[in-house]
Structures are given as structure tokens and as C-alpha cells.
Structure 1
Amino acid sequence: MKIRNVLILLLCCSLGVLHSQDATKAKNLLDEVYEKVQGYDNIVVDFKFDLYNSEADVRQETRGNVTLNGEKYYLNYMGAEQLYDGQKVYTIVPENEEITIEDKSSENGTVSPSKMLTFYREGHSFDWDILQDVQGRKIQFVKLTPIDTNSEVASILLGIDVETRHIYKLIETGKNGTRTTITVNSFKTDQPLPKTLFTFDEKKYTDEGYYIIRN
């Protein structure tokens, strides 16, 4: 075997080892994030949402917040509210005075709010990415690539605060060129929550004239 071929072989082997080590580092960091999230009674997140597609010249920016308690959640986003009480998903649209009630199974495989801090545990390969300094905070990015080749998502960059092990930013790039960015503005844990936060009061809304759709 020529020396050149030997060097190429050694280089390929070295790159393979480095990639494997990076993937292991990425998985270990995500495992730490997951363990941190699982240790809280509840989590309250205020976030900024940005959607951009240069080809279609579409840009959308908005803010929202979500309260998570186990599988239950309460989401306030784009003028609508969504509540999951452990059995049903209730989507409340005050502008239309309309409420849709669905079984959890109706989410069609999308990432529900209850999974937004843990979705990365399944269906992705991992890779170590860049480290950024954001106003004095060290944010380590991990690149997630869907294992399903039919996924509409090309890749996801998950930015993790190195000190707190909390998710700070998610950048999703679709195969159609759309880039969606979610930035966490506030991450609070173990907050005192109203006892009725995850309870849907149907009579309250019907008395106010809301139309209810059951799927």
C-alpha cells in the first residue's frame, strides 16, 4: 500500500473517532439537560418565536409562554390558549370565541408543549456544534438530525446554557428552507401555580357564548 493511501486511511479513521467522541459528548450533555428538567415540579417558560423563509419572503415574530407540570401544560401563544389536563387538549381562541377539544392522540406526532424540553431524546442523531458567548453566558450548541429521512426537518440546533444546563435556544431548519427560532427569555422552576390552571371549565365558556368543537 502506498504511503499516501496509508495516510488517507489513518486520517479517515481519526475523523471517525473524533465524530464518535463528539456524538457521545452531545448525548451526555442532552442527558444532563433531561435529568435537570425531570427534577423540577413545574417549569414556566417565556419565549420569543421567530419564523423566517427568505425564498417566500415570510417573517413572523411573536412571544408566548408555557407552564409545564409533568405531562400537563398551559400554553399562551399567538392570541390563543392551549391546555392539556392529562386526557384532553383544549385550544381556546378568544378572537373567534371558539374552543376545540381533542384527544392527546390527535397531535399527529408533532412536538407537543409537554415534550418541548425533552423531544430530543428520541428520533435524532447527535453531534457537537459551536460554543457561543451570549451576554456573558456560555451557550453550547448540539446539532440534531432526524433519523427519519422523510422528516420535513433538515436539522435542529439546540443551544444549552453550560452553567445551568437549561435550554436557551432552538433553531430548526426545514427542508423547504424555513428557519424557526425559539429563544427562551425566562426559565422559572417550582413556581406556585393556581390549582385550576390545568382544569378546563366548560360551563364558563359556554355561558360566555363560545362555540365548542369536539374532535
Structure 2
Amino acid sequence: MFKKQILLIALTIIGLSSYGQNSSKAKALLDEVYTKVMSYDNIYIDFSSALENTEANLKQETNGNVTMDGDKYVLNYFGAKQLYDGKKVYTVVPENEEVTIEDVNEDEDNVSPSKMLTFYKSGHNYQWDILQNVGGRKIQYVKLIPIDSNTEIKSVLLGIDTQTKHIFKLIQTGNNGTKTTITVNSFKTDQPLSSSLFTFDEKKYEDQGYYIIRN
């Protein structure tokens, strides 16, 4: 679940690195988004997330933030923290006083946000969707529809700020009726980062009595 949420957040931040050909306008806009964002040294994003399924009477809202520098990232979400230092993934859940440490198989695991984007490199059709005015900002939506009818995802809408070429909103609709919406509240680039930001201090959590799980 946590990795799937990171995928959505990463997609919201970076955009897509390869696109279908059925909509030249959609492809051109997404190309601009990708080129713009890949020019940054690092990215910090503050976001809000909403998960809703009316049939299941489910509604869940939360805020989070993520800092990305190349493949490395630190994500704070649902009261948990996940850090990827380029080699291992560390998930800290204070509520359970638990830390999970996982090795990364780069050939199999889509762990880093940049690698997780490959999920969207193929298998989708793209459509030019509606244009909305949000607080004076023009948000152009592009719709991604999976070609594989067996996928859990029915569609993904990406709302792109036409001036900044940053993604403002992502709306994913599942075949089970669940809708996940991620809205970007703050987008900062090329920030001064601490040299220890992506370094995990295992001893600190051991001293606090956290249970360490190694997978």
C-alpha cells in the first residue's frame, strides 16, 4: 500500500517519461512537464491526499510531503516516514514503534520514484481532457486509460498548470470505484538540503526501543 501511494506521489511530482501516441497534444504537454521537472536538482512537495469509495462508505484524507534528489527520497505520509538512500528502503511507523529495512533489487523493485515511473511508460492511451480555471491558474487535464482491461486502475487524470508546466492534481479512479486524489499545495525546487537528509540513523531508533525488521 505504501509503495503504491509513493508511485502516485512520484507521478504527481515528475510526470511521465514516455507517452502513447493517440493524442499529440497530450504527448507534447507531458513532454514539456517531464523536461521541466527533470531540470531541477531536487524537489520538495507538500500535498494533500483524499481516498474515497462511496459504495464502501470510505473517506480518508491526509497531508504529506516528500523531498526528492535523483533516486533518493524522504516521504512523510499517514504518520509514517519512508526513506530511500539509493540502496535500501527504510519505513518508520512511530505508531507501532517499528522500522522495516528492505534491500532493493533494481531489476525487480520499482522503489525509487524515478524508477516507478516506468510503470506508466507503456500500456496506456492518452486523451486531451478538460481545461479548468483554479484561482486564476489554467489547469489542463490529460487522461490516461490503461490498455489492459484486467488492471485495477480504470483511469488517471493529470491536471497540469499550463504556465509552470508542473502537475497540480492527480485523480486516479479504480475499477472498484475507489477514487484517489492528490493535490499539490506547495512545490519548491533546488532547495539547500542537509547532507544527512537521506542517511538513516538506525541506532537512534534502537535507542528508542523500536523493533527493527529486516526483509
Band the TM-score falls in, shorter-chain normalisation: 0.7 to 0.9
Quote the Cα distance in structure 2 between the aligned partners of 1:41 and 1:176: 38
Question: 1:203 deviation in Å?
Answer: 1.2
TM-score, normalised by the number of residues in structure 1 = 0.84
1:43-81 deviation line (CA, Å, top 9, x unaligned): 000000000001001000000000011111000001000
Q: Secondary structure at the match of 2:206?
A: helix
1:161-201 deviation line (CA, Å, top 9, x unaligned): 00000000000000000000000000000001111111111
TM-score, normalised by the number of residues in structure 2 = 0.84
Q: Secondary structure at the match of 1:129?
A: strand
User: Contact 2:110–2:116 at 8 Å: present in 1 too?
Assistant: no
User: Contact 2:159–2:167 at 8 Å: present in 1 too?
Assistant: yes
AA at the equivalent of 1:158 = L
Q: Secondary structure at the match of 1:155?
A: strand
Quote the Cα distance in structure 1 between the aligned partners of 2:105 and 2:173: 26
Quote the Cα distance in structure 1 between the aligned partners of 2:173 and 2:213: 33
Q: Secondary structure at the match of 2:198?
A: coil
Higher CA-based Rg? 1
Question: 1:150 deviation in Å?
Answer: 2.1
Quote the Cα distance in structure 2 between the aligned partners of 1:45 and 1:117: 17
Identity %: 69
1:133-173 deviation line (CA, Å, top 9, x unaligned): 00000000000012333210000000000000000000000
> Which blocks of at least 5 consecutive residues in structure 2 are unaligned?
1-19
> Which blocks of at least 5 consecutive residues in structure 1 are unaligned?
1-19
Provide closer, same or farther for how the CA distance between residues 117 and 167 of structure 1 changes in structure 2, counting only shifts above 3 A.
Answer: farther
Question: 1:105 deviation in Å?
Answer: 4.0
Quote the Cα distance in structure 2 between the aligned partners of 1:189 and 1:105: 29
Give 1:173's aligned residue: 173
Provide closer, same or farther for how the CA distance between residues 36 and 26 of structure 1 changes in structure 2, counting only shifts above 3 A.
Answer: same
How many residues align? The count is 195
